Amino acid sequence: MSGPGRIMKKEIKELLTPATIVPIIIMAVLFASLGGAFNGVREQLENKPEFGLAVDDAGTFGILARESFNSTSNIIYNATSLQDGLQALQDGKCGQALVYIPGNYTANLMNNKTGWVDVYWMKKGTGLTASVQTALVQASITSMGKAVSTYMIVYGVTTNSSLILSPIQTYSTTYLNDKVMPGITPDQVDTVFTSSSLIVPLIVMLVVIMAGSMVINSMGSEKENKTLETLLTMPVKRTWIVFGKLAGATVVGLIVAGIYMIGMGYYLSSLMAGSTIDLAKYGLTLGMGDYVVIGVSLFLALLCGLALCMILGIFTKNFKAAQTMVLPVTMLAIIPMLISMFSDFNSLPLFLQIAVFAIPFSHPMFAFNNIMMGNYMIVFAGIAYMAVFALAAMFIAVYLFRKDILLTGRVRSAERKKGFSLINLPGWKK
Amino acid sequence: MFAVEVKGLVKDYGQFHAVKGISFDVKEGEVFGLIGPNGAGKTTTLRVLSTLLEISGGKVSIFGLDLKEQAGEVRKVISYLPEDAGAYRNMTGREYLDFMAGFFAPEKDPKKLLERGLEIVRLGERIDDKIETYSKGMARRLLVGRALMVEPKLAILDEITSGLDVVNAQAIRKVVRDRTKEGTTVLLSSHNMLEVELMCDRIALINDGVIVESGTPKELKERYKATNIEEVFVEVVK
Ligand SMILES: Nc1ncnc2c1ncn2[C@@H]1O[C@H](COP(=O)(O)OP(=O)(O)O)[C@@H](O)[C@H]1O
Ligand SMILES: [Mg+2]
């Protein structure tokens, strides 16, 4: 074989190892399943939207509205008073939204005034699925408006062209948990949510990858320089060596997280300065306790990542091998970050929920949204899970630190059979 | 009491028997050499004795301490210098010695250890340079200094001069001999059969995981009517 060919073959052989391929395959499978989740969203788009309708107006346009909605949408609850409608919305009988046609609706339209339609949104999730639902309901209302325009032209209700072009307007009120936000659409809430809930996942991902590779690289270079052997013969408990290494990386990780947080917090606040709504006005902010919870979650995620990297580091032979060992951890950190960009935990299909829950780093990534949505259970379950995960990983690391594998790496028995013999000579000849 | 007592030591790597039941002992205060070709099992033996690898079979005691049961205690009396060892490259020589000395507090005064270390190393002003700028000989001096500054009861030195030029090798040998006169027992390994004649009170020849001969260099040469240990080795494994 020619020179370049030989070199190429060697390079390919070195690069295509299970350590590099397996994470990529896992990544591909996860993306494929994420695609499945998006397909589900598309199917929703093709279905009629479901919502509740309360028509308090017995006039022509009230009847027209009811007919229009019945043809374009699936009206799952019908009422004639706002009170009944809102009760049904609270009880979950209206799905995501209640459209209310007030009593003066026909009268307004007949008198050359805009017909106001009130929409009450019950916000249950953030992310793609939720915003698709919102858009569908809004589309139904738009097409109802067109029906009004047509009617006005056919029956010559008015000559006011601007009214004919947009005869109706909507006023939204959004309910989130027990909070009421008049004049706010769910989309606006989503915008604020996604931008603020983006920082934490990004920081978690960056910090886990950085601090994690630090631990693995440190193990790799300690093995390569044999400084690990020297360290292990010092009169120190192995447990303390493991904890010392972890603690060092944790401190660095937290410092880096702090720096990122300050930087990105500043970036975000300047971004938010132009934002139209201030969620804090509606009590939608995190309290001191919530920040502590997110902090604890982040700390534990970092610890899980580092302990995991320590275990991987134990199997690393040298600095070069350490580079590939970082890959699985990088993947584990990137996957939940990407998912958190598209969706919130509650809107994920069950198997993805399980996968996301199992990856310890995902918990702080979803913590912001979960706390905002009042899903404290998942947040605390995640913290408990991470605590157990970190402890177990540290326990395994300490255990492996006492084993030959720390210095010898994996021993492939098949390769080593050549020296097989049963002689057990006491070689001390006097 | 022997400094080191090894009885029927076996060490396997998975299915592979690297050390096949060797026995030897090292008397207090002597320099004992484990001599053999590459792959004979010297490093494996020394790593086991340094508490780095688990024993697969047999029994080892170091100054009366059982290696398996009292590994923590053993670490307090030994000092191990790995083959081809390096140091933390971004530290200076002084920082490195200081870092290592700290592990022996409070039993030993780290300041005194550092002082002794600097004396052994004798790197002059270069001691405050980063280790990554050191030559191979300087780095080895530093590591030997690290190993001997604690005045261990037993120094386990693996191939201390391998890869060094004649001048540096000789300097290292001298440091080891000089610094171990007062009460330090030395167990060293080498594949350089001429070197051990210069350094060791007693030696054991190891080949393919088995000790094939042992005694003082003089005894062995007489027994095989050889002029040096290399000839003895060739004769023994024939
Ligand atoms: N980590 C390991 N895994 C498997 N076999 C090993 C390992 N380390 C050493 N060996 C084998 O054990 C034998 C003895 O090696 P070693 O003790 O390093 O010899 P020496 O130090 O005398 O040159 C060799 O055949 C070597 O290939
Ligand atoms: Mg060796």
Tokens encoding A283: 């009590």
Q: What are the structure tokens assigned to A228, written together?
A: 């690990």
Q: Has residue A270 got a pLDDT over 80?
A: no
DSSP letter for each residue of A106-135: HHHHHTT--EEEEEEEEE---BHHHHHHHH
Q: Which of A231, A404, A408, A420 to mutate to test the interface with B (most CBs of B within 10 A)?
A: A404
Q: Atom 27 in ligand 1: which residue has the minimum CA distance?
A: B39
Question: Mind telling me how many Å the CA of A262 is from chain B's nearest CA?
Answer: 30
Exposure letters A254-264 (e unless 16+ CB within 10 A, then b): bebbeebbeeb
* The predicted structure's pLDDT at residue A418: 40
Q: Which of A217, A219, A233 to mutate to test the interface with B (most CBs of B within 10 A)?
A: A233
Domains of chain B (ranges, CATH numbers): 2-77+152-237 (3.40.50.300), 88-151 (no CATH)
pLDDT at A42: 67
Q: Identify the three-state secondary structure at position A412.
A: coil
Confidence of residue A44 (pLDDT cuts 50, 70, 90): low
Q: SS3 for A103?
A: coil
At residue A268, the pLDDT reads: 66
Q: Which carries the bigger pLDDT value, residue A11 or residue B82?
A: B82
The neighbouring-strand residues paired with B204 are: B34, B214
Reported as a pLDDT band with limits 50, 70 and 90, residue A273 is: low
Element at A102 (helix H, strand E):
none
Residues of chain B with pLDDT under 50: none
DSSP for B18-37 reads EEEEEEEEEETT-EEEEE--
% pLDDT > 70, chain A? 84
Q: Which residues of B touch A226 (CB under 8 A)?
A: 82-86
A47-184 is classed CATH 3.40.1710.10: yes
What value does the mean pLDDT take over residues A92-119?
Answer: 92
DSSP string, B57-86: EEEEEETTEETTTTHHHHHHHEEEE-TT--
By the 8 A CB rule, do A200 and A268 touch? no
Q: Which residue out of A317, A415, A416, A420 has the highest number of ligand 1 atoms within 8 Å of its CB and is therefore the one to mutate?
A: A416
Lowest-confidence region among A32-36, A50-54, A298-302, B79-83: A32-36
- Chain A residues bordering chain B (beta-carbon distance below 8 Å): 224-227, 229-230, 232-237, 403-404, 407-408, 411-413, 416-421, 423-429
Residue A262 pLDDT exceeds 90: no
Pocket probe for ligand 1: among B34, B43, B53, B233, the residue whose CB has the most ligand atoms within 8 Å is B43
Q: Does the pLDDT value for residue A195 go beyond 70? A: no
Name which of A224, A420, A427 is nearest B212 (Cβ-Cβ).
Answer: A427
B window 80-139, beta carbon within 8 A of A: 80-89, 100, 103-104, 107
Which pLDDT band, with edges at 50, 70 and 90, does A129 fall under? Answer: low
Shortest-distance atom of ligand 1 to CA B36: 22
Instruction: Please indicate whether, in this complex, the C-beta atoms of A233 and B51 are within 8 angstroms of each other.
Output: yes
Nearest Cα residue to atom 12 of ligand 1: B18
* pLDDT for the residue numbered A284: 66
User: A427: pLDDT confidence band, cut at 50, 70 and 90?
Assistant: very low
More confident call, A275 vs A412: A275
The shortest CB-CB distance from A404 to any of B17, B53, B103 is to B53
Q: Does B192 touch chain A (CB under 8 A)?
A: no
Ligand index nearest the alpha carbon of residue B211: 1
Confidence (pLDDT) at B94:
96
Q: Whose CA is nearest to atom 24 of ligand 1?
A: B39
Helix (H) / strand (E) element for A358: namely helix A350-358
Residues of A in contact with B144 (CB under 8 A): none
Residue A422, pLDDT score: 35
**Mean pLDDT score, A316-333:** 84
Residue B54, chain A, CB below 8 Å: the answer is yes
Q: What is the pLDDT of residue A290?
A: 86
Tell me which of A98 and A418 has the higher pLDDT.
A98
Q: Of residues A203 and A409, which shows the higher confidence score? A: A203
| Segment A353-383, tens digit of pLDDT | 898 999 999 999 888 888 887 889 999 999 9
SS3 B164: coil
Closest chain A residue to the Cα of B73, Cα to Cα: A235
Q: What is the pLDDT of residue A72?
A: 92
Chain A residues near residue B83 by CB distance under 8 angstroms:
226
Residue A415: band (very low, low, confident or very high) from pLDDT cuts 50, 70, 90: very low
Does position A274 have pLDDT exceeding 70, yes or no?
no
* Stretch(es) of chain A classified as CATH 3.40.1710.10: 47-184
ipTM above 0.90, yes or no: yes
Asked if the Cβ–Cβ distance from B16 to A418 is below 8 Å, we say yes
pLDDT given for residue A9 in this prediction: 85
Q: Using a CB–CB cutoff of 8 Å, tell me whether B13 touches chain A.
A: yes
Distance (Å, whole) CA B211 – CA B96? 36
Q: Give the residue with greater pLDDT, A423 vs B226.
A: B226
Nearest C-alpha neighbor of A149 from the set A243, A259, A64? A64
Average pLDDT of every residue of chain A: 83
* Res A53 pLDDT > 90: yes
Give residues (CB < 6 A) around ligand 1: A 408, 411, 416; B 13, 16, 18, 36, 38-44
